Chain A
Amino acid sequence: MWQRLSTYLYLRPKLILALLLLPPLLWFLVVYIGALLTMLVNSFFYLDGFTGQVVRQFTLSTYAKLLIPTNLQIFFRTAAMALAVTVASVIVAFPLSYYMARFASPRMKTFLYLAVTLPLWSSYVVRVYSWKLILAQEGIVSWFAHLIHLDGLLSWYLSSPILGGPSLSVSITGVFLVFLYIWLPYMILPIQTALERVPKSLIEASSDLGASPAQTFRNVILPLAFPGVIAGSIFTFSLTLGDFIVPSLFGNSSFFIGKAVLTYQGTSGNIPLAAAFTMGPIVIMIVYLLIARKLGAFDAL
């Protein structure tokens, strides 16, 4: 019986394809794509201010609300933070990735690889939590600053108007540091993968042809590492755009997109506005992903 079923299926590859593809496809179309579309539709509805009910009628007024200065500021602030985190993580990640790809012995590389992936795969919430411990007023940063007699500098920094705050754990700087810490491995690994693919002969050829190490770095290594940087930035940028945990735990009262969405959706039940808000990061990310695919970043994942 199995034999006959096997033969039956073997002769009908289209049927096998359908059997294989249908469950995941249906799941994603219904649960995910369907959900995204629902959200899109929702963003064209509006919340009646008097009744507090969502009115299911096509309108662009919800999108118009996005354009008021406070909300534009939220978009701008979030994008600026995402950009800052992305740039900083490229700078911090590059030396380590470069060392891993070019100089580390195989054993060393295994060790470093573990040291990068362990934080990545240990719990997100716990890693955020650890920074609560670190940045607290009585925590390790203050202790260390005191130890090297820099408490003056720390309190001077904290008293600065935009970046400072009552303590590091309630400031924009805190938000930035935690984001950088959390997403850094996502930048290290793709850059390292990309660098590892640079054939050694290419570097030798470059120096044979008279390039200085700096020139080789700029003209050979950096361009080849670029897809890795793009791949990493997809993660750092997108994850920062959509995160509400870190700003709500470390930030001052200023809103980020994630926090705004949560507030509109949660406390005021304004799903249309929350949905419209979410379209911002979606559009940004889809454009970003398409460009990244063009640049060949998916090969470096």
Chain B
Amino acid sequence: MLFKKISQPSSDQASLFLKLSAAGTILFLNIPLMLIFLYAFTTDEAGYSFPPPGLTLKWIPRALENPDLQSALFLTLKVATLATVLALILGTLAASAVYRFNFFGKETISFMLILPLALPGIVTGIAIRSAISLTGIPFSFWTIVIGHATFCVVVVYNNVLARFRRSSNSMIEASMDLGANSFQTFWKIIFPNIATALLAGGILAFSLSFDEVIVTTFTAGLQQTLPIWIYSQMLKPRNRPITNVAAMLVVLITMIPILYAQRITAETSDTEGETK
């Protein structure tokens, strides 16, 4: 959608002021991320001094060996994977229902699905927490997953629904006319058609879950996901160099898949992921 091109060249030129402020905004958005990469190598152990007094590689192996960091990383990966799978299933089902059928309350579905993301994170967090504590289920790995899956559904739903709306129905009709049953049509026509939308939606859901911290604060028991670990390190810095490396690690883990998702959606010219 965002890539729909205005093919004719602009007749008028952007003013210098516009160019400069656009460039300034881009710098404002990206310099902080570059600093993350710089500080992962700083020799400064006690502070955040700029420019760094020196650069070193020694923190990277130390961070990777750190047991707290390791267990946080594995927990986060596990939660994100499971939440993504759940979101893929629920999101695709909801998108198919909304696309194929007319039913009472259809308009409300998107509204309801976007609610966990549109409402402040703290609302989702405290709501799920008070419900869980009412049922007496102990806070655990599973309660984190439930919370995450809930707000991940909408990104999958948006991606898949956009793809459905963009693809023509005639392929499906042709397949049925030629004698394929619904299941064959699904596997041979519909699924390949929405595969990249699923992949993109899944990646977005994964990274959404991977760095979530607000809802997780309420739904986690004693477990620490990676973002929560970093957050606790910011509240009470104990090990700054290790935290610096962990921060870089998180950026890499979320950024690379996103770049990939960006590419596959750009190829098929839909980018419905930006409704975080």
> B-contacting residues of A (Cβ < 8 Å)?
2-3, 5-7, 9-10, 13, 16-17, 20-21, 23-25, 27-28, 31-36, 38-39, 42, 92-93, 95-96, 98-100, 102-103, 105-106, 109-110, 112-134, 136, 138-140, 142-143, 181, 184-186, 188-189, 192-193, 196, 200, 234-235, 238-239, 241-245, 248-249, 257-258, 261-262, 265, 271, 274-275, 278, 281-282, 285, 289, 293, 298, 301
Q: A96-B21, A130-B35 are in contact. Are A24 and B93 (CB under 8 A)?
A: yes
Q: Does B32 contact A (CB under 8 A)?
A: yes
The smallest beta-carbon distance between A267 and chain B, in angstroms, is 13
The smallest beta-carbon distance between A283 and chain B, in angstroms, is 11
Tell me, in angstroms, the Cα distance from A261 to B254 when the chains sit together.
29
Question: Are A138 and B47 in contact (CB-based, < 8 A)?
Answer: yes
3 closest cross-chain pairs (CB), A and B: A242-B120, A6-B181, A123-B211
Enumerate B205-253 residues with CB–CB distance to A below 8 Å: 207, 210-214, 217-218, 227, 230-231, 234-235, 243, 247, 250-251
Question: Are A113 and B36 in contact (CB-based, < 8 A)?
Answer: no
Q: A123-B211, A243-B121 are in contact. Are A274 and B126 (CB under 8 A)?
A: yes
Chain B residues lying within 8 Å of A234, measured Cβ to Cβ, are 118
Q: Does B119 contact A (CB under 8 A)?
A: yes
Q: Can you list 28 A-B contacts with CB-CB less than 8 angstroms, sorted by A residue number?
A: A6-B182, A21-B103, A27-B90, A28-B113, A28-B150, A32-B112, A34-B131, A35-B127, A38-B131, A39-B126, A39-B127, A92-B25, A95-B17, A117-B274, A124-B212, A125-B247, A126-B211, A126-B250, A129-B230, A138-B50, A196-B4, A242-B214, A257-B122, A258-B122, A261-B126, A274-B126, A275-B130, A301-B275
Q: Does B178 contact A (CB under 8 A)?
A: no
Question: Are A285 and B120 in contact (CB-based, < 8 A)?
Answer: yes
Tell me, in angstroms, the Cα distance from A119 to B251 when the chains sit together.
9
- Count residues of B near A (Cβ-Cβ below 8 Å): 99
Question: Are B101 and A200 in contact (CB-based, < 8 A)?
Answer: no
Question: Are B6 and A23 in contact (CB-based, < 8 A)?
Answer: no
Question: Are A243 and B120 in contact (CB-based, < 8 A)?
Answer: yes
Q: Does B57 contact A (CB under 8 A)?
A: no
Q: Closest residue of chain A to B229, judged by CB? A: A125
Tell me, in angstroms, the Cα distance from A189 to B3 when the chains sit together.
12
Q: Does B258 contact A (CB under 8 A)?
A: yes
Question: Are B97 and A243 in contact (CB-based, < 8 A)?
Answer: no
Question: Are B247 and A278 in contact (CB-based, < 8 A)?
Answer: no
The smallest beta-carbon distance between A217 and chain B, in angstroms, is 11
Query: Contact partner of A119 among B29, B51, B119, B184, CB < 8 A?
Result: B29
- B 110-144 to A, binary, CB cutoff 8 A, 1 in contact else 0: 11110110111111101111111110000000000
Query: Contact partner of B227 among A3, A123, A271, CB < 8 A?
Result: A123
Q: Does B255 contact A (CB under 8 A)?
A: yes
Tell me, in angstroms, the Cα distance from A298 to B123 when the chains sit together.
21
Besides A96-B26, A115-B26, A125-B231, 5 new A-B residue pairs in contact (Cβ under 8 A), listed by A number: A17-B103, A24-B153, A139-B49, A281-B122, A285-B118
